[in-house]
Amino acid sequence: MFGHPAWFQRRKYGGWGLTPKTWQGWVYLAVVIAPMFIIQSLPGVAANARLTLLLVWGALITVDLADIMVRMPRDERERLHEALAERNAVWAMVAVLAAGVGYQVAAGIVRGLVQIDPVIIAALVGGVAAKAFTNLYLERRN
């Protein structure tokens, strides 16, 4: 689309995404961020219209950044490192979510009313489903 994979490198230590590695990447980042401030400061434009413009701009940029990430070349070593990092990140997230459910159950027992946040349960069930479907797909493919 607009950005080029050669302008960026994968973010290795600060989460997911891209980090600019050339001056073109930094210019791209400025061109992506500047309209957000401009849209917010448009005089005489209703709040709903500004929000709609921001959502449309955000969607376009998300699609472009996803396209850049998909087109970035990776060798086998980078794929293995990324897979291990992703696995470890998922295990950490599952542990925190499970601890959250445990805390909500314990706090509910003390209060006499157990209420568990359905979003946490959905995240855990979604993770299990994603793993199951991935394993099923990989077994059938091989």
**pLDDT greater than 80 at residue 108:** yes
Query: Which pLDDT score is estimated for 14?
Result: 65
Give the SS3 label for residue 61: helix
When pLDDT is averaged across residues 94-98 and rounded to a whole number, the result is 90
Residue 45: C-alpha distances to residues 38, 53, 54, 75 (Å)? 12, 10, 12, 48
- State which amino acid sits at residue 12: K
Query: Which pLDDT score is estimated for 26?
Result: 94
Closest Cα to residue 32, out of 2, 69, 68, 71? 2
**pLDDT greater than 70 at residue 18:** yes
When pLDDT is averaged across residues 35-49 and rounded to a whole number, the result is 87
In this prediction the pTM is: 0.59
Alpha-carbon distance of 74 to 118, in angstroms, equals: 38
